[in-house]
A = this chain, B = another copy of it.
Amino acid sequence: MTKKIGRQTAALPSAPAVLSYAAVVGKKEGEGPFRDGFDRISQDSYFGQESWEKAESQMLWQCFTLACGKARLSPSSLDGIFAGDLLNQCVASSFAMKDSGLPYLGVYGACSTIAETLILASMAVDGGFAERVCAVTGSHFCSAERQYRFPLEYGGQRTPSSQWTVTGSGAVVLGTDGGCLRVRLVTPGRIVDAGIRDPNCMGAAMAPAAYDTLRAHFADTGRSPGDYDAIFTGDLGALGHDLLESLFAADGVSLGKGYQDCGVLIYDPSAQNVNAGGSGCGCSASVLCGHILPEMERGRWKRVLFAATGALMSPTSAMQGESIPGICHALVIEREE
C-alpha cells in the first residue's frame, strides 16, 4: 500500500505521536524571547566540559535524557536514535549518544537536520519498524565558529546578512501512541542550488530550497498556506524570510501572517547583536521544542507546517568557489482534539 501523495509527500496513516520533547540552550539563547520555553539554559558555554566539541555532545546528551525523562521513559526503552549535527563527521552526535546503548542512525542535513531526523523517525514508527524513537540535533556557536569561520579570539567582523549559530539543541521522542501532537505528513526536500556563493548569506542560499519544498508540499496535498495555522521555516533569517515571501509573491501566493522563521524568532534583534538572525541545527530544533510544540499543546495552533532549511556546503567547497546548495525538509504536525 503506497502512502505517497503526489511527487514528494508521504502520509503517515498511523500518525506517530510526539511523546515528549526537550530543548537545552546556551546563555545567549536563554536571554532571547523563548527563555521561558527552554527546558534548560546553561550559563556555561562549556557545559562543564573541557572543549566546545565535548560541550556540544554534553548538551545533546542532556537534551536527549531530558526528553526521555519528561515522558517517564528510560532511554533503554527506545528502539533507536536519529541524530546529526554540523561538526565534521557529525562527532557531536555520535560522541553524545555513544553510551546510549541504542541503535543509532546518523543523519546529515545541515541546519535542516531536525526535520530530516523527524521525517525518518516518523517513517520508522509509522512503518512498524520501531515503537519509540528519538530525533535529536543541535549546534554550538563556539565549535561551529572555529570550524566554519574564524578562531573566536580573532574577533572577526560579521556582515549584515550573516547569521549567528545557535548554541542549542532539540530532542523529540516519537511513538506509536500517546500525547496530543501527531506527525501527519512528511515532505522530504530536493537539493536546490540557486548559485549563491557567499557563505555569509546563507538565507539567500536556502530560501529557494524552502520555496521548492513548500511549493511541492502545497501541490502534492492540494493545500495552501491558509490551511495551516502557522508555517515555520528553519533558519532563513531575516533576509531569507523576506526572499521566500518574495518568491511566493511572484506566484501570487501569500504565506500569510502565520508564516515565521525560526532564525528570526530565536533572538531579540533589538537587544541581541545577531545580524540576520540565528542558524545552525540547534536553531529550528530548539525553537520547535522550546516554542512551537509547547504552544501547540497549549492550543495556540492546531495544524503546523514545519520546514527546516539547510545549506549543504563545507568550508572546502566554499574555498573552491562552489555555490551553496540548499535543502528544506518539511513535515506537518497536528494537535488532536
A interface list, Cβ under 8 A from B: 1-4, 8, 10, 51, 53-54, 79-80, 84, 86-91, 94-95, 97-110, 116, 119-120, 123-124, 126-131, 147, 186, 188-193, 312-317, 320, 322, 325, 327
Contact = CB atoms under 8 A, between A and B. Distances in A.
B127 A116 contact: no
Nearest to A83: B108
A94 B107 CA distance: 13
A120 B104 contact: no
Contacts of A325: 94-95, 98
Contacts of A8: 103
30 contacts: A1-B128, A2-B128, A3-B128, A3-B129, A4-B130, A4-B131, A8-B103, A10-B129, A10-B130, A53-B316, A53-B317, A80-B188, A86-B89, A88-B315, A88-B316, A89-B314, A91-B317, A94-B191, A98-B325, A99-B191, A103-B188, A104-B189, A104-B327, A105-B107, A107-B107, A107-B108, A123-B129, A127-B127, A127-B128, A147-B316
B188 A51 contact: no
A166 to B, nearest CB: 17
